[in-house]
Homo-oligomer: A and B are copies of this chain.
Amino acid sequence: MTPRTGPEPGRITDGPRPKHAQLTDVLTGLATEGRGPGTAIPSERELMTTYGVSRATVRKAIDTLVSDGLLERVHGKGTFVARPRVESRLHLASFSQDMRRRGLSPSTRLLALECGRPPVEVARALAMRGGALAWRLSRVRLADGAPIALEDGWYPRAVLPDLDTRDLGGSLYALLADAYGIVIDRGEQTLWSEAADGVTARRLEAPVHTPLLVFRRISTAAGRPVEHAVSRYRGDRYQVHMSLDRNRSG
């Protein structure tokens, strides 16, 4: 409909990626490039004819974005771009969800997945016996195609025997839960700031010495440590928002 500068507004095709997921991306674009919070997106019936999908599919896509906090529905009026929520939720829950809430499209670039012997402090943090092997997973996380963070994690092979056969392009926590029944229920996180060295800077496509926000996280599931991860976020592209409450109502 809109003869934008961009060639195609993104056709919804019948491929491996579900249609509702594709529509989610399209709608994220609409919501982001629109005139900001309060702007209405096309009605559900309009979207079904525009993109040639059923209303159920349209609603599923909108559901996702509503629960991510990007859109708001108003019965009888329409669906609108939501005002950004002031809410806690560090990046811990899900990188993808976090990015979408900010109106960005998340993706992942896999750098390495190897099996080896972790450094002693990692092995100790993961309560591994000396000599035991672990996966080293290295990924660049992107938003709208631009590198945001570099994540380096160690995962005991005894816990995740065939991690190398899995799809590591999405949320790792979701994979742990879905494929292994491992649900992270506790974490210890340390956060500091450092300057990017040459390798890190190159991977993040940033100048050397760019200030980074660094998280080191040790996650446990049912008392068993399963993850030792260090995430380096570009300080110029990433901010953490949090609500601090004295009482626990959140």
Q: Is A4 an interface residue (CB 8 A)?
A: no
Cα–Cα, bound, A87→B184 (Å) = 10
Q: Is A89 an interface residue (CB 8 A)?
A: yes
Cα–Cα, bound, A222→B88 (Å) = 17
0/1 string, A185-220, CB within 8 A of B gives 1: 111111111110000000000000111110001010
Number of interface residues of A (CB under 8 A): 56
Copy number of this protein in the oligomer?
2
- Are B189 and A236 interface neighbours, CB within 8 A? no
- Are B82 and A244 interface neighbours, CB within 8 A? no
Known: A86-B187, A178-B74, A190-B239. A212 touches B213 (CB 8 A): no
Q: Is A242 an interface residue (CB 8 A)?
A: yes
- Are A192 and B239 interface neighbours, CB within 8 A? yes
Which 4 A/B pairs are nearest by Cβ-Cβ distance?
A193-B235, A187-B244, A211-B211, A193-B211
A-B contact list, 26 entries, CB within 8 Å: A56-B56, A67-B67, A72-B177, A82-B183, A83-B185, A86-B92, A86-B93, A86-B188, A87-B93, A88-B90, A88-B242, A90-B244, A183-B246, A186-B243, A188-B243, A190-B239, A190-B241, A191-B241, A191-B242, A192-B236, A193-B212, A193-B235, A194-B236, A195-B210, A209-B209, A247-B248
